[in-house]
Chains A and B, each alone.
Chain A
């Protein structure tokens, strides 16, 4: 007893495995499981335990089975797939097409709001691929005061950001989203059972603040590009302009 191997922090090696593995983009499942097994092994858990002291396989199996609810949405995928076959994306595109012809800031804010609404309805869609690239980016660049490539690039980055903002914060508004269910699962495991509806309500303030802050950012971007149009500039000024304001 009392040797260097008794140092309790060795168990943190599992966290190191997680960080290194995910950062190096190794397949996520094996990294996560490896991190868990390394941790459990270093903590001295047996492979298979008994009722008094569960082992790592018992703990893993119990946790996985108890958290099946997180992956419950698999049951909705046939319907989503059929919807896509019936032309879901073109319908959505048509609805979002109503944004066209309005100002740059409104396109960006409108896109983010649309993504928050989709998130609140639990529609899990790949926004960059489904809307950002084919729909919103062309609309946003069309709303540009000048057709400078540097400005167009900045606006496209803003479209990507609007998608991420709306998607990240909006999805928590749906009580049965993977995020809310994960939070509920982890808290239950830690001895604090919570209601997923409560979680989705608690997400509202951050959604509101993120929409407000993003609106300010988008309006500033539109104004700056507008001002740059007023004074004729060379393209290099536009390319470095991103760091001056916002």
Chain B
């Protein structure tokens, strides 16, 4: 028993497992590239195909390419995006059910397979004493593959339909898929350039020395304001956390990095609720629901944001600070 469980734990944490998932994504993206290239009527299909091809190469071979080559490929991808090479729809509509409607709740099976497998694999990782987080990630990958199989069986569909459906969803969001990953990379570039020390120095001179709550207030407030400014809590997170969260809150007081950071992220969400910069969430509904007032949604939401923000400090004091 102990032997078999350690095998599970080792399989989950083995780098090759994750690399296999990335290779599958690479293959999937190359499939999309071939499909896009095959659309004869489509304008600019070669640029779009090149985009998905390069992204697929980064996923499949990223671990083996020299880092500077990967960096160059990322610049190339963003260049294609800047040149308008990839069709981008700001508001993806739910793809209309194209004739195929399956009776009953069968349409739920695939989407419930994904979280089901994710949690099962994470649970297996926990039981076998392995890395639970890695288990959840591997579970997501396995869940995605199994769910496609479930959908193909439940809906009597072909593999081609799966490739088609995946490509449509992927292309609807387009380059925005890469934004969180790019933002995480931005965080690293900022760290390499020493932005963290600069911001920490500037904000640290305002925060009272030795006060963890004061530092947390500064971190959460910066997250909220920066998010409101750029309209994206993920973007704010990579800058403000490397600049303020880690050097002023987590490192000096030895606090739980996971709890502090997730509170920082939701403090950013409080900013998202109040800003017209988060157009997808706050302005898109105005048109969608046919409201006369452009700021109707924000006017409703800011009250909750104002009430929820202090709750962050409370939760920080209750759960994060040592008793």
Contact = CB atoms under 8 A, between A and B. Distances in A.
Interface residues of A, number: 126
Interface stretch (A24-32, A96-104, A223-231): A24-32
Interface stretch (B6-14, B34-42, B235-243): B235-243
Contacts of B81: 27, 29-30
B65 A29 contact: no
Contacts of A87: 97, 100-102, 107
Contact of A75 (B28, B198, B246): B28
A194 B132 CA distance: 11
For the residues of A in contact with B, the DSSP-based class is helix
B63 A65 contact: yes
A124 to B, nearest CB: 10
B297 A174 contact: no
A76 B289 contact: no
Contacts of A73: 140, 144
B161 interface: yes
A88 B107 CA distance: 5
A70 B184 contact: yes
A167 B266 CA distance: 12
Interface in A4-26: 8-9, 11-12, 14-15, 18-19, 22-23, 25
Contacts of A139: none
Nearest to A131: B94
A78 B28 contact: yes
Interface in A169-214: 169, 172, 174-176, 178-187, 189-192, 194-199, 202-203, 205-206, 209-210, 213-214
Interface in A62-110: 62-65, 67-92
Contacts of A86: 97, 100-102, 106-107, 110, 151, 154-155
Given A22-B230, A43-B192, A186-B187, A57 B68 contact: yes
B141 interface: yes
A31 to B, nearest CB: 9
Contacts of B234: 178-179, 182
Residue among B109, B176, B198, B257 with most chain A CB within 10 A: B257
A79 B97 CA distance: 14
A134 to B, nearest CB: 9
Interface string B103-146: 00111111111110010001000000001110011011101110
A168 B269 contact: yes
Contacts of B59: 68, 71
Contacts of B186: 18, 32-33, 35-36
A66 to B, nearest CB: 8
Interface string B188-221: 1111111110110000000000000000000000
B257 A77 contact: no
Contacts, number: 479
A78 B299 contact: no
Interface in B138-169: 139-141, 143-145, 147-148, 150-152, 154-155, 157, 161-166, 168-169
Interface string B279-311: 101101100111111001101110110011001
Given A14-B195, A61-B69, A186-B241, A69 B101 contact: no
A157 B291 contact: yes
Interface residues of B, number: 153
Contacts of B106: 86
Contacts of B193: 11, 14, 39-40, 42-43, 45
B239 A15 contact: yes
B74 A33 contact: yes
B246 to A, nearest CB: 4
A130 B71 contact: no
Contacts of A62: 67, 70-71, 188
A182 to B, nearest CB: 5
Nearest to B232: A22
Contact of B288 (A71, A80, A133, A195): A133
A76 B114 CA distance: 7
B29 A74 contact: yes
A75 B141 contact: yes
A32 B157 CA distance: 39
A210 B308 CA distance: 7
A95 B217 CA distance: 41
A184 B102 CA distance: 39
Contacts of B110: 79-80, 82-83, 86
Interface of A: 8-9, 11-12, 14-15, 18-19, 22-23, 25, 27-30, 32-33, 35-37, 39-40, 42-43, 45, 48, 54-65, 67-92, 120-123, 125-126, 128-130, 132-133, 137, 153-154, 156-161, 163-165, 167-169, 172, 174-176, 178-187, 189-192, 194-199, 202-203, 205-206, 209-210, 213-214, 217, 242-243, 246
15 contacts: A23-B277, A48-B68, A55-B68, A56-B192, A68-B59, A70-B184, A82-B148, A83-B147, A86-B102, A122-B140, A178-B180, A197-B122, A197-B132, A202-B262, A205-B315
Given A70-B180, A86-B155, 13 more contacts: A39-B193, A60-B70, A60-B71, A62-B70, A81-B168, A121-B114, A154-B300, A164-B282, A172-B266, A179-B234, A181-B137, A190-B246, A202-B259
